[in-house]
Amino acid sequence: MRFAFTDEQLAFRDAVRDLLEKECPPQAVRDAWSNETGRVPGLWDKLCRMGVVGPDAASLEPLDLVLVLEETGRACVPEPLVETFACGAGGVASVATGLGLELSPLVLYADSVERLVLERNSALYALPPARASLESRPAVDGSRRLFAVSWDTGRAERTGLEARSVLDRAALGAAAQLCGIAQQLLDKTVGYAQQRRQFGQPIGAFQAVKHQLADVALKVEFARPVVHRAAYTMEPTHVSMAKTYASDAALLASRVALQVHGAIGYTVEYDLHLWLKRAWSLAAAWGDAGWHVDRVGRAILTPR
């Protein structure tokens, strides 16, 4: 029994964190809201060179990537990382991938990825976006370019991917990003509560504020081991627990972050909303907490 990451896994995470601090600062996410693709120009190639995606990532296990995916959530990276991770067989798919499952049918970045992977009758098919008809569906998170996709199995190739395992990988990837988002929201809000002064003292000195932030810390502390265990086993029940805990943690973190920031957080000029909206999106994607709790229930309950 050893519930800890290797030095290599931690070093990989640190390297990705450094890269994202430089290449995907909040301004880059903000710019993505108004550019053509919703993504950060050039970032995909850099992630590829670092081995987060692309051929070098093909040999990695979910456990090698879970901390890295957390970092991409922390940085609010607007790229099809979860989808590309989900469609890899062992590690990560070799090309940028858009994913549509019956549970989460809208396809992120369908107009700018190299291929689409789509579910029909529990089978997964691959096709280039040019062979499908895309209808844009504006999302609350302006960097999430979502599309309803019309397509024909005759113009697509059947893949060897299994829908359930792709869903599990997508849910795990989203759970990891949600943990990173929750941690980022906590860190930013603690920082704000330390420097914002009202009534002659930092607002973070008020117990009513402290206790809300302590509750977020509690959620994050107990979500991360659940997510890490799921990355280790990839068992469906474990993945469902991971998505539940990470969604709950990120949603509470966003609620508290906004409340503690107050009016300044309720603006689009301040960066906070970038993470809030990403948290809402990912909590709803690939099965929300209710869906996953139900799946765990089917595994553990045996009504008589």
Partner 1 sequence: MDLTWTAEEGAFRAEARAWLEANVAHGLPSGDTAEGFALHRQWERKLFDAGWAVVSWPREYGGREATLFEWLLFEEEYYRAGGPQRITQNGIFLLAPTLFEFGTDEQKDRILPRMAAAQDLWCQGWSEPEAGSDLAGIKSVAVRDEAGRGWRLTGQKTWTTRGAFCTHLFGLFRSDPAAERHRGLTYFLVPLSAEGVAVRGFGRLDGDEGFAEVFLEDVFVADSDVLGGVDRGWEVAMATASSERGLTLRSPGRFRATAARLVELWNTRPDPSLREDVVRGWMDAEAYQLQTLQTVTRLAGGQRAGPEASLTKLFWSELDVRLHETALRLLGPEAELEGPWSKGFQFALAGPIYAGTNEIQRNVVAERLLGLPRR
Interacting residues toward partner 1 by CB under 8 A: 1-6, 63, 186, 190, 193-194, 201-202, 204-205, 207, 209-211, 213-215, 217-218, 221-223, 225-226, 228-229, 232-233, 241, 244-245, 290, 293-294, 296-297, 300-304
Residue closer to partner 1 by CB (options 210, 255) is 210
CB contact at 8 A, 82 and 174: yes
Quick one: 5 or 33, whose CB is closer to partner 1?
Answer: 5
Shortest gap between Cβ of 301 and partner 1 (angstroms)?
A: 6
CA–CA dist 110, 122 (Å, integer):
20
Which residues, 6 or more positions from 115, have their beta carbon under 8 angstroms from its beta carbon? 95, 96, 97, 98, 126, 127, 128, 129
Q: How many residues can be counted in the chain?
A: 304
* Cβ closest to partner 1, residue 35 vs residue 233: 233
CB of 95 to partner 1, least distance (A): 29
Q: Which is nearer to partner 1, 2 or 130 (CB)?
A: 2
Q: Among residues 121 and 302, whose Cβ is nearest to partner 1?
A: 302
| Distance of closest approach, residue 63 Cβ to partner 1, in angstroms | 6
User: How does DSSP classify residue 155?
Assistant: G
CB contact set of 3 (below 8 Å; sequence gap of 6+)? 225, 228, 229
| C-alpha span between 80 and 98 (Å, rounded) | 7
- Grouping H, G, I as helix, E, B as strand and the rest as coil, residue 24 is coil
Q: Give the number of C-alpha atoms closer than 13 A to the C-alpha of residue 65, restricted to the C-beta side.
A: 32
Q: Closer CB to partner 1, residue 5 or residue 280?
A: 5
Rounded least distance, CB 198 to partner 1, Å: 13
* Tokens 């890295």, residue located: 68
Looking at beta carbons only, is 263 or 301 nearer to partner 1? 301
Nearer to partner 1, 55 or 191 (CB): 191
- Say if residue 84 is exposed, middle or buried (CB neighbours under 10 Å; 0-12, 13-18, 19+): buried
DSSP one-letter code for 111: T
- Least CB distance from residue 187 to partner 1, whole Å? 9
DSSP, residue by residue, 21-62 = HHHS-HHHHHHHHHSSSSS-TTHHHHHHHHTSSSGGGTT--H
Distance separating alpha carbons of residues 116 and 101, to the nearest angstrom? 11
Least distance between partner 1 and beta carbon 253 (Å): 13
Amino acid residing at 4? A
Residue 83: burial class (beta carbons within 10 Å; 0-12, 13-18, 19+)? buried
Minimum distance, C-beta of residue 299 to partner 1, in the bound complex (Å): 9
CB of 38: closest distance to partner 1 in angstroms? 33
